[in-house]
Amino acid sequence: MHAPRARVSIWTRGDHTPPPTMRFWWVNQNQTFRHEVAGGYLWSPKRKANGAINPFYEFMREVSPGDLIFSFAETRIAAIGIAASHAYEAPKPVEFGRTGFYWDRIGWRVDVGFTLVQSTFRPADWMEELGPLLPKRYGPLLQDGRGVQSIYLTELPGPLARRLAHLLGPEVEGLTHADTVRDAPAVRPSPSEGLAVWEEHLRDQLQNDTALAETEREAIVLARRGQGLFKQRVHLHEKRCRVTGVSRLEHLRASQCKPWRDSTNEERLDGENGLLLTPSVDHLFDRGFISFRGDGRLLVSPVAHAPSLERMGVPVSRSIDVGAFSQRQRLFLEYHRDAVFLMRVGT
């Protein structure tokens, strides 16, 4: 039996510098294939409908730009994708309609440059070769080649990914070589755009809430940008940037540990739900590239680009203690680590 050959474009950088890590992913897209592939993204809820952690949603937090993604739909590998971003918080795509209607409205999104695979390659036809390469944990296929329906996104071991790529043809196989740096072919929207739309929706709801006094509504709206009463209250607990030591208030932003969009009105104005950070560190904290343990240890995401963080004033080559947090601050930081920080599954 001869494997079908796929027609896939290859995107590479000119310097051919190998990436520090190369990871391979499998995504089951039966319900959302046409939306996600056409739209250029992956999207998942953060939790199961009952609030429990789902490892196949948590894997979204591990994807890095340049990772290779095999899209499985209707019993075959139907597209190949190259990740164009890390995961970031984003509202459920409106084009999903009632698909997954019970899902959380805010989930994880990864931008992906997809190319359709012009073949009829069905893993079920090749299980004699593929079966022994399946991981014992979180494998995407049953031994008969059917997809595991409970899995959304899972990592593929290198030997399995390379065998799949070989069966799909030389162009796909080329993407798995260590001397190929893979880039997404298209410019994606800013990760903040979807959240900005969602937060505008929340702000409009807030402005129409007649149960709140006008001054309170204004304070809550300003807290969204880390300003006004919220910043004043944070300053009662925080005097300088925890990472860089900058203490001039005009150079600092009040960053919310539990994001504004997820907080109650009381939490949005709670000074212990905030840290004073320089703009660069605030960006890293807001996007989940850094966080803090309750005991004061700085946490750096394993998917963060270490040289960039060093240039932004974050010492990634050594462990640092940023100082003690109050009990209430520790609770808000726990939420940040749980819902914002980009981490490895099982860490």
**Confidence category of residue 222, pLDDT binned at 50, 70, 90:** confident
**Distance (Å, rounded) from C-alpha 330 to C-alpha 325?**
6
Last residue of a domain, one of 147, 174, 201: 174
C-alpha separations of 102 from 24, 44, 51, 195, 310 in Å: 29, 12, 11, 19, 41
The total number of structural domains in the chain stands at 2
Tokens for 96, please give them: 């999903």
Residue 185 scores a pLDDT above 80: no
Please check whether residue 10 is in contact with residue 185, taking contact to mean a CB–CB distance below 8 angstroms. Answer: no
**Distance (Å, rounded) from C-alpha 94 to C-alpha 320?**
42
Tokens for 190, please give them: 């800013």
Tokens for 195, please give them: 């959240």
DSSP 199: H
Tokens for 204, please give them: 């409009």
**Confidence category of residue 4, pLDDT binned at 50, 70, 90:** very low
Decide which of 105 and 103 is more confident: 105
**Confidence category of residue 102, pLDDT binned at 50, 70, 90:** low
Tell me, what's the pLDDT at 171? Answer: 80
Tell me, what's the pLDDT at 3? Answer: 46
- Map residue 99 onto helix, strand or coil: coil
C-alpha separations of 346 from 108, 232, 285 in Å: 18, 37, 21
Burial (CB count within 10 angstroms: exposed 0-12, middle 13-18, buried 19+), residue 50: exposed
Asked whether residue 19 is assigned to any structural domain, the reply reads no
- Map residue 86 onto helix, strand or coil: coil
Please check whether residue 149 is in contact with residue 127, taking contact to mean a CB–CB distance below 8 angstroms. Answer: no
Tell me, what's the pLDDT at 106? Answer: 82
Last residue of a domain, one of 112, 142, 174: 174
276-301: pLDDT as tens digits: 999 999 999 999 999 999 999 999 99
Q: Model's pTM, two decimal places?
A: 0.80
Torsion of CA 47, 53, 55, 57, to 10 degrees: 10
Amino acid at 43: W
Asked whether residue 134 is assigned to any structural domain, the reply reads yes
Tell me, what's the pLDDT at 255? Answer: 95
Choice among 214-223, 243-252, 261-270 with the minimum mean pLDDT: 214-223
Asked whether residue 181 is assigned to any structural domain, the reply reads no
31 shares a domain with 165: yes
156 shares a domain with 55: yes
Q: Tell me, rounded to whole angstroms, the distance of Cα 81 from its chain centroid.
A: 16
Give Rg (Cα) of the chain: 22
Asked whether residue 4 is assigned to any structural domain, the reply reads no
Could you list the residue range(s) of the whole structural domain that residue 303 is in? 192-339
138 shares a domain with 100: yes
